[in-house]
Amino acid sequence: MLRLGVPSWKVHSGRGLSRLLFASLMRASMRSATSSTHPNGVQSILDTTQTTPGDYWHASGTHMPFFTASKPTAGDFAAAFYAPELTLKSKGSGSSEPAEKAPDSPGKAPDGKSSENITEGDEPPVKKDDKGVPGETEPEKPAEKETDAEGPTSIGTLTGSSALGGSGNEGGNNSGNNGGNNGGNGDGSDASMVEISLETGAYPPFLAIAMKDRPQLPGREFSINISDPKVKKTVQEICSRREPHFVLFHMNDPDMPDTDIIHDRKAVYDIGAHCFVLRTYEDGDNLRILGRVMERCRLEKLVTPAEQAELAKIDDLEEFPTSYLRDFGVSYARVTRCDDEPFNMDSPELKFLLAQVKAYFEVIDSKIPSKKVITTRGVSLLNSPSELADFIGSLSAAPADKIQELLSELNVEARLRKAIELFKVELKSYYTLIDTTLEITLKAEEAQHKQFIKEYIKGLQRHIGGPESATLKASKFDERIKNMKLTDEAMEAYNTEKAKLESGQEHLSELAVSEKYLDWLTSIPWGIFSKDRFNVKLAKEVLDRDHYGLKDVKDRILEFISMGKISGKVDGKILCLVGPPGTGKTSIAKSIAESLNRRYVRIAMGGIQDVHEVKGHRRTYVGSIPGRIISSLKQAKTSNPLLLIDEIDKLDMSKSGGAASAFLEILDPEQNNAFVDNYIDVKVDLSKVLFVCTANYLGNIPGPLRDRMEVIEVSGYTNNEKYEIVTKHLIPNAAKRANLDETRVAIAEDSVRQLIEKYCRESGLRNLKKLITRIFSKASLKIVQQLEERAPEEAKETKEEKPTTINEDVDSKIVQEFKAVDTGITKSAEDVVLPHEIPEDIKLEVTPQVLKDYVGPEIYTRSRVYDIPPPGVATGLAYSTSGNGDALYIESILTNSIGGGTGSPGVRVTGHLKDVMKESASIAYSFSKLFMVKNYPENRFFEAADIHVHCPDGAIPKDGPSAGISFTSSLISLALNQSLPPTTAMTGEITLTGKVSAVGGLREKILGAKRYGCDTIIFPRDIENELEEISDEVKEGMTFIPVLWYDEVFKAIFPDADTDKINRLWKKEFAKLDEKKMPKK
């Protein structure tokens, strides 16, 4: 957000625009510092009209000069702190005599005092010891010859001088100094070692500090915390020596540890900030530095503590004014000033950028008058683009790497452009915050105002004894029930709650509860019914229009409607449509509602666990509402809708699940005429509601609930039925949704059949519908690409934005960036985008050869898993909980050879089998041993065979008794070492005596067998009558073998079994095994 921070003394690094308010805080603190309780206090000499903070520093009671110039330079600071009273002569001179200073030199007060003593009431100059620590008071010295303030200034390299705060004494006989504190006679022999010019920007080595928080820009005040003890001591030392200069370099890797010392040059950026200490103070264990950035600087050479240890071994080290930094074990660096690249103030690009900035500040000035100081300062810098870019950058809360880019950018136009982009982001975020805050405030004030008015009116009504405004609310409910026929119980509840609402004596929250209750009670359609329409012919037309096939289902529904026509009602009927997903159960319920002229309401039962979701919560709970049944009646607006309870088999059937028990009352014709919802707490008659339930698997519905339903099975579709549905329903509907004519995108017949056989083998049509929709989506893309290729110029115009011409009204254009875009209003959703006309010659044909380009590669590349199954593999048929019929392969193998094994028989079953299926496998193993002993006694296979039985697709849970004869056939196939017919599938439960028992889902299993390439089905004879009810289309091409005993199964799968060969099969293996078991002599 825009950094318009609240003024605070703790101005941290990167606090944005709040730093501009620092000047006033500094003045206030300085005024307090001049009090009698602070003997070393400093009186402010800042002009209150200045727009920049006062530049000063304070450490250990030492005060440095103030700079009253609005824009102090690095040379000013260096001249004042390196040589406040004298300027050294050029390189090679043997003496260090001071030059004459001009009368208006900032280094001297008008009375001849040093500028460090210009404040009123200060104590006399202080003599310093050899470490620069204040010592005895010494008398004031007369002014020496002054130097021209505007002349060039240079500083020689000194080994000790009072100007640099180094060691000196009263005699002043240190070599290379300019005398002690009282003048001196140093020989200056070392003065010729290095000459540092302030005007070229070359300085002696400075303390180098690493910074991880945020890079600092020139001209800004900031504060940082120093935690490293070595760096803390170094900062205190440079301040005591009156050399408060250091350099900051930002770390280029955010994952590096936060440290004050730079241990590796590669860890920091080359461009940093030359900084000046304004003030230091203790902050717990840390040292807080309040500083100011003077200028950009480039890192020329860095000496780390590790490198200092190596340099210490060299006797003849280079000496420089800040050589004492070596004694502290910190990093120091030699830097050079980074000057901006030359620029032209008359450049059109620069003028445009400055106009943008001016417009932004005018926007802030108009929207946020309290930030006048920011806009004033910004406008004042329009003639200095370099400083303006740094000022704008300091207002941004952008990431550190973005600020570092500004710091490293020496091209003024480029820097200003980057700063503007960051400023735009901040301004937009700030506007968003203001708008959000204003909106919340207005809403809160409005709510408070309304509450006050309500309480005021309520108090007035109590005094005059008249009705409150709640009477108007009650009259609204009276209007609702005029055409209703409430029961006596419901009318009594209505009058009771209405009286509470009209009295107004209750608490407002209680009145709200009564109002909400009356709203729900009067939303129930008491005594409102739709007129039933028992037209069998019309019902047949509706069913045939919406559904293909399903003859048995349609006949049952027409029978149901016919009975209603004869009796004049269809009350008390609960239909349950059971079948696989995607077979049209929900759409069948809609067709029934349309045929009977009843309102259609759907309740999805998936995941409902709590009884309160069905029967509602009591009004004692906060936020309570009625249950799904009452909500459905409110939605239907009639008391006799068709209420579809979708996926009732997905109800929570655990012991704690009360939703299923709630439906026992709802779906029972003897009880649902007095249904009581916990919230309404009044009897509601549901006997006129036609309940229709859907389920995928009937076995998941509790028995007591299933007994109350009239079950209608909705079987899966054959491939021919799927083809008809796709061509007559799915393709036209998909083409209509895509706004494409069926002739525009033609799907070949072979492509449709390939979709059915190679992509979608489920019983329903859900996945097939998705693939058809995907084909039309891909086709739309191809058509649009052809259109754009024919009209490349039009596509180019929509892709590329036209350049905007800059005119004199720059400000208004920029302000528009922050205004809401008016998108216009359309009368309907269809008016938003007009459909594109497609030329007649653009047509697509989806053939089998290009089908994979639309829907991807084939999913089912083979019809069977095994073309020639090995011994021990049998194909069973299963009926899944989703209602689909599938092939179930059962595999059995020997884990050890009979002759080479231990001879310990056994069986292990895997494949995520549930309890019933495990029992079937165990029964099959016992019967298989009995069968072999009885029919092939000399085949001793099961006496020593260690068998592993597995059902593939181990991630899918499997249960049920249907695989009994499949398990048995797999084990006997392994014992006979003969393969089963690859196209034969079987289903049926087996008993220990070998009898084959009935199972369910025969039609779905037949469809599943056909999908997996099987043409022969062995099934229990007990369900042979079901086979007669299955349509010829389903049975087409299939051979059915009904069986009663397993002997019949054996003859069907092993018609050429040779008894002698089977008896001799394992003789060699058992001979080796018997030989192993014989005791050694």
- In this predicted model, what pLDDT tens digit does every residue of 619-639 receive, in sequence order? 888 888 898 899 999 998 999
Could you tell me if 70 and 52 are in contact, meaning their C-beta atoms sit under 8 angstroms apart?
Answer: yes
Closest CA to 281 of 241, 224, 234: 224
DSSP structure class, residue 729: I
pLDDT value of residue 469: 56
Q: What is the pLDDT of residues 227-251, one digit of tens each?
A: 999 999 999 999 998 889 999 999 9
pLDDT value of residue 252: 87
Backbone angles phi, psi at 547, to 5 degrees: -140, 140
Reading across the β-sheet that carries 1016-1020, which strands appear in turn?
906-910, 946-950, 885-894, 873-879, 984-986, 1016-1020, 1039-1043
pLDDT value of residue 249: 93
Could you tell me if 600 and 637 are in contact, meaning their C-beta atoms sit under 8 angstroms apart?
Answer: no
Could you tell me if 986 and 924 are in contact, meaning their C-beta atoms sit under 8 angstroms apart?
Answer: no
Could you tell me if 651 and 613 are in contact, meaning their C-beta atoms sit under 8 angstroms apart?
Answer: no
Q: What is the pLDDT of residues 514-563, one digit of tens each?
A: 888 888 998 999 988 888 888 888 988 988 888 888 888 888 888 888 88
Mean pLDDT of 6-25: 35
Does residue 69 carry a pLDDT above 80? no
SS (H, E, C) 890-922: EEEEECCCCCCCCCCCEEEEECCECHHHHHHHH
pLDDT value of residue 472: 66
Termini Cα distance of the chain: 98
75-79, 255-259, 764-768, 1038-1042: the lowest-pLDDT one: 75-79
Per-range mean pLDDT, top range of 45-59, 81-95, 505-519, 912-926: 912-926
Mean pLDDT of 1007-1016: 86
DSSP structure class, residue 122: P
Spot the catalytic one: 715, 962, 966, 970. 962
Could you please state the CATH topology (level 3) that the domain comprising 873-1072 is classified under.
Answer: Ribosomal Protein S5; domain 2 (3.30.230)
Closest CA to 969 of 953, 952, 954, 990: 990
Higher pLDDT, 687 or 106: 687
Does residue 112 carry a pLDDT above 60? no
Kindly state the tokens that stand for 458: 């309520």
pLDDT value of residue 931: 93
Closest CA to 328 of 437, 469, 208, 166: 208
pLDDT above 70 coverage of the chain, percent:
72
Neighbours of 428 (CB within 10 A): 14
Does residue 417 carry a pLDDT above 60? yes
Mean pLDDT of 18-45: 36
Does residue 275 carry a pLDDT above 90? yes
Higher pLDDT, 816 or 886: 886
Q: What is the pLDDT of residues 164-184, one digit of tens each?
A: 333 333 333 333 333 333 333
Alpha helices in 301-384 (DSSP H): 305-311, 348-367, 372-380
Q: Match domain 536-712 to its CATH number in 3.40.50.1100, 3.40.50.300, 3.30.310.50, 2.100.10.30.
A: 3.40.50.300
In angstroms, the CA 427 to CA 323 distance is 47
Closest CA to 953 of 894, 903, 899, 911: 911
- CA separation (Å) from 769 to 723, 755, 762, 924? 12, 10, 12, 42
Kindly state the tokens that stand for 29: 């603190």
pLDDT value of residue 361: 83
Does residue 80 carry a pLDDT above 50? no
In angstroms, the CA 525 to CA 419 distance is 66
962 as an active site residue: the answer is: yes
Could you please state the CATH topology (level 3) that the domain comprising 719-798+830-855 is classified under.
Answer: Helicase, Ruva Protein; domain 3 (1.10.8)
1005 as an active site residue: the answer is: yes
Neighbours of 314 (CB within 10 A): 8
In angstroms, the CA 787 to CA 779 distance is 12
134-148, 808-822, 904-918, 923-937: the lowest-pLDDT one: 134-148
What are the contacts of 1045-1049 at 24+ separation with CB within 8 A?
Answer: 1045/994, 1045/995, 1045/996, 1046/927, 1046/931, 1046/965, 1046/968, 1046/990, 1046/994, 1046/995, 1046/996, 1047/994, 1048/996, 1049/965, 1049/968, 1049/969, 1049/986, 1049/988, 1049/996, 1049/1018
Position 319 confidence tier, pLDDT thresholds 50, 70, 90: confident
- CA separation (Å) from 199 to 152, 154, 202, 339? 7, 8, 8, 11
Tell me, what amino acid is at 506?
A: E
Position 64 confidence tier, pLDDT thresholds 50, 70, 90: very low
103-107, 315-319, 760-764, 994-998: the lowest-pLDDT one: 103-107
Q: What is the pLDDT of residues 387-398, one digit of tens each?
A: 988 888 888 888
pLDDT value of residue 1010: 86
Tell me, what amino acid is at 562?
A: S
Domain residue extents for the chain: 348-434, 536-712, 719-798+830-855, 873-1072
Position 902 confidence tier, pLDDT thresholds 50, 70, 90: low
345-354, 574-583, 587-596, 657-666: the lowest-pLDDT one: 657-666
pLDDT value of residue 548: 84
Mean pLDDT of 580-592: 89
Kindly state the tokens that stand for 922: 């165990």
Position 313 confidence tier, pLDDT thresholds 50, 70, 90: low
Tell me, what amino acid is at 1034?
A: V
pLDDT value of residue 654: 61
Higher pLDDT, 995 or 101: 995
196 DSSP β-pair partners: 155
Kindly state the tokens that stand for 360: 């932004």
Helices (H) and strands (E) in the chain, counts: 35, 30
pLDDT value of residue 900: 62
Closest CA to 517 of 677, 686, 688: 677
